[in-house]
Structure 1
Amino acid sequence: MSVNEVDGVVVEDAGWEVDPGDEPGKAVLATVGRHLKIWREAKGLSAAEFGDLTGYGEDMIRKLERGDRIPRPEFLDKADEVLGANGLIAEMKQDTSEIRYPKPIRDLAKLEGKAVEF
């Protein structure tokens, strides 16, 4: 977990902000969040209990489950461990890794990849 201190107050940071104009990214995050919630509820955990077990607050868990925040890879690893998902949640790191960069940057990276192929 990344923790920052701002004006003497500890602030957790389990994820990155979502680019408001990134519709494909939002769809991926909605799916990841839905899966996190399904796994959490299947284990009979409240958002607060899941937060305690992963080291994050209930509010951050709810933001991640709603797709309002991009989960950090460390969070997905910890969630996988806590929920006993046998790698199924940790595997979503690949799906979320690109979304943390704005869509124009991702598009440029794809173009660069094609150029390298040629």
Structure 2
Amino acid sequence: MEYSFEIVGVSPVLEFFNHQQAIRQQRHAGAEYLGSYQCTLDAFITSIEDLPMRQNWRLDRIVDSVINFWLNNADQISHWKQRLSEAGTENLLVARVGDVEALRAEFEFLLNYDV
């Protein structure tokens, strides 16, 4: 199984908490969202270790995806570190980690959804 990690934005703590509660009720299959007060590799690895692991998810491979992101995206990390700093202490940096195949299927469903 292959995993994806990406930083998606900065959010007020309460909004992130409410979003997490909504996802838990829906049992969103493809992704988990992580929040951190710091833009550091260690902070995100720690937040991954605190996740309730989904069946068949491999923690070691998820951590590898975070490390690979950190090694290959210095500009993005710098950007988000600055945005988090500007947002103030009542905000979190939010990232998404997920099973690549499940995320792909979810995005394809959304793109093919008829309104």
Q: Do they fold alike, i.e. is TM over 0.5?
A: no
Relative contact order, higher structure (CA 8 A, sep 6+): 2
TM-score (norm 1): 0.29
**Quick check: which one's strand share is greater?**
2
**Quick check: which one's helix share is greater?**
1
TM-score (norm 2): 0.30
Report which of the two structures shows the higher radius of gyration computed on alpha carbons.
Answer: 1
